[in-house]
Amino acid sequence: MIQVPVYNQNAEKVSEIELKEELFGVKTRPDLFHMCVVMHLANGRQGTHSTKRRSEVNRSGRKVWPQKGTGHARQGDRKATHWVGGGRPFGPKPRDYSYKMPKKMRRLAIRSALSTKLRENSLIILDKIELSQPKTKEFLKILDNFGLRNSSVLVSLPVKDESVKRATLNIKNVKTMIASCLNVYDLLKYDYLILTVDAISVLEEAFLK
């Protein structure tokens, strides 16, 4: 077990929590990080790009000039790929770029990313997040207490919290996410990860199976 301090919203240490080695004590795996990030970006591609082939361009199918006797090289119609306005020979067509990594590899990558956050002192555990009003200034007070106003922060909660979400919408470097939906891309993208105590059990259930 790993002993980690638990803070309140005023950045005061209130207790300690034991984190499981299997979740927060895994060695860093850059190879899995790379695979997960590439998969994440590929799955986000629309794949709607399209070019017209020779049979799809709107041009005449008439032969440009007679086959013989002109002194020119023989030519077909102006749909040919070497003519301006002709078809594109090997251009892209709509396709699905998405793919999936094996579940065990994805979970290992997330455990490795969480462990890396802890080793780099970029993990902050709060006893709870309670806002008197769902306003930006309320959440900025929490960031100021930890000196994170100018840092990018990923906030992970056990369940969806509309007040916290509304309070962070206008902060460009802060993102909220349910613990069970964490991914390697966001864990690497943001400088700090804030977890609530209740979110730890959700992580254990989601990524230690």
List of domains in the chain: 2-46+101-207 (3.40.1370.10), 51-91 (no CATH)
Cα(29)–Cα(104) distance, rounded to whole angstroms? 14
Confidence class for position 174, pLDDT limits 50, 70, 90: very high
Cα(136)–Cα(126) distance, rounded to whole angstroms? 19
Cα(116)–Cα(129) distance, rounded to whole angstroms? 24
Cα(178)–Cα(30) distance, rounded to whole angstroms? 24
Query: Tens digit of pLDDT for each residue in 43-95?
Result: 999 999 999 999 999 999 999 999 999 999 999 999 999 999 999 999 999 99
State mean pLDDT over 146-168: 95
State mean pLDDT over 139-155: 96
Give the Å distances, CA to CA, from 40 to 43, 45, 53, 185.
5, 9, 30, 7
Residue 209's pLDDT is what? Answer: 73
pTM: 0.86
Residue 15's pLDDT is what? Answer: 95
Phi-psi category of residue 59: left, alpha or beta, with phi > 0 → left and psi -120 to 50 → alpha = beta
Give how far the C-alpha of residue 68 lies from the chain's centroid of Cα atoms, to the nearest Å. 60
Residue 1's pLDDT is what? Answer: 84
Given a cut of 90, whether residue 205 has pLDDT beyond it is: yes
Residues 6+ apart with CB under 8 A from 13: 5, 6, 7
Residue 76's pLDDT is what? Answer: 95
Mean pLDDT score of the chain, rounded to an integer?
95
Residue 71's pLDDT is what? Answer: 95
Given a cut of 80, whether residue 24 has pLDDT beyond it is: yes
3-state secondary structure of 175: strand
